[in-house]
Amino acid sequence: MQAQRPLEGPVADGLLLSVLVPVYNEIDVLSEFHRRLTGVLRDCVDTYEVMYVNDGSTDGSLAWLERLCAEDPNAALVDLSRNFGKEIAMAAGLDHVRGDAVVVIDADLQDPPELIPKLLEQWRGGYDNVYARRRQRDGETWLKKTSASWFYQVIGRLSRVRIPQDTGDFRLLSRRAVEALRQLREQHRFMKGLFAWIGYPSIAVEYDRDPRLAGETKFNYWKLWNFAIEGITSFTIAPLKLATYFGIVVAVVAFVAIIVLVAKTLLFGDTVKGYPSLMSVILFLGGIQLIALGSLGEYIGRMFNETKGRPLYFTKQYLPSRHVRD
């Protein structure tokens, strides 16, 4: 049984809720997003901060966020020095939030802020990681839905850590979950995996995902492919094992084939024929070797990047919320 967190009525006295919002070129949706979000927060908590992390936006999002911080004492801003990517932006936000609980949500309104009270309800029941699981995903193509499903099935089988399927970054984290994540400083970050890796009691809250309110998704299929590679290489060495096992199988088959060919030649005088088939086999094995070398290179490249010891990010400015206690 999970430890119950004290609460009186729908609002927790003294609770500070932080909402972490990574932003990259979302000027078309920021105003409506902030309006809906703050409307929800005012009804479910007494003190909150909305931490926007500007990840190198070029469309006017930064100027809008700076004006918001001047007008809304509950708004905060972390402005990164360049575009580091969403995973790093979330890490920067987690480094700066000060809440007893932290909600991570995108600004495109595909994930409804109106779900936050349900996330809080499960957190109050003692769960440290309350993740939102999609029942359906409106506004997404069949190919994207299918490829995402395959990816989570594959990584679920390969990884030792169970990564929930049909979930994104939209979730609520307890303070101790946030502190655990802040200790993980690897450069190549797959946050959905890190959320699961830290452990702690977790539970899903299901919802229907809406289409984007405006603008375009920042993830094309090439970026999604690289994201999948990032996730797999971050949480399993299965590609290296598969290359090893396949190499053993091919070596055994090749050895048996050599024995058969030598025996046929000695016993029946058959000559070895079929240069086309020989070339096909050579090209096939060469392709497998290149795939294995590519997999090995991915892991070596990650080791190289990690050994540099560079900071995850740099900030140009930090504007804390003015209604939040230190």
pLDDT in tens, 179-190: 999 998 887 777
- When pLDDT is averaged across residues 143-149 and rounded to a whole number, the result is 62
**Are 49 and 321 in contact, with CB atoms under 8 Å apart?**
yes
Q: Which stretch of 43-57, 118-132, 195-209 has the lowest confidence by average pLDDT?
A: 195-209
Quote the DSSP letter at residue 46.
S
**Are 93 and 53 in contact, with CB atoms under 8 Å apart?**
yes
Quote the DSSP letter at residue 48.
E
Instruction: Provide the β-strand partners of residue 76.
Output: 51
Mean pLDDT of the chain: 78
pLDDT, tens digit (0-9, with 9 covering 90-100), for 187-208: 777 788 788 888 899 898 888 8
Tokens of 79: 């402005």
Return the higher-pLDDT residue of 124 and 215: 124
pLDDT band at 292, cuts 50/70/90?
confident
In the block, which residue shows the tokens 């010891």?
309
The amino acid that residue 66 corresponds to is E
pLDDT band at 253, cuts 50/70/90?
confident
DSSP calls for 113-141: GGGHHHHHHHHHTT-SEEEEEEEEETT--
Residue 127's pLDDT is 92
- How many Cα atoms within 13 Å fall on the side-chain side of residue 122? 20
Residue 68 has pLDDT above 90, yes or no: yes
Alpha helices, DSSP H, located in 50-174: 61-71, 86-96, 116-124, 142-158
Percentage of the chain exceeding pLDDT 70: 66
3-state secondary structure of 65: helix
Architecture of the domain defined by 16-235+312-319:
Alpha-Beta Complex (3.90)
Residue 173's pLDDT is 94
Q: Which stretch of 2-6, 77-81, 123-127, 247-251 has the lowest confidence by average pLDDT?
A: 2-6
pLDDT, tens digit (0-9, with 9 covering 90-100), for 267-279: 766 655 665 566 5
Return the higher-pLDDT residue of 107 and 304: 107
Q: Is the pTM of this model over 0.75?
A: no
Residue 13 has pLDDT above 80, yes or no: no
Q: How far apart are CA 73 and CA 211, in angstroms?
A: 30
Q: How far apart are CA 36 and CA 108, in angstroms?
A: 12
Q: Which stretch of 40-49, 202-211, 236-245 has the lowest confidence by average pLDDT?
A: 236-245
- When pLDDT is averaged across residues 308-322 and rounded to a whole number, the result is 87
Q: How far apart are CA 202 and CA 228, in angstroms?
A: 23
Residue 119's pLDDT is 93
Residue 222 has pLDDT above 60, yes or no: no
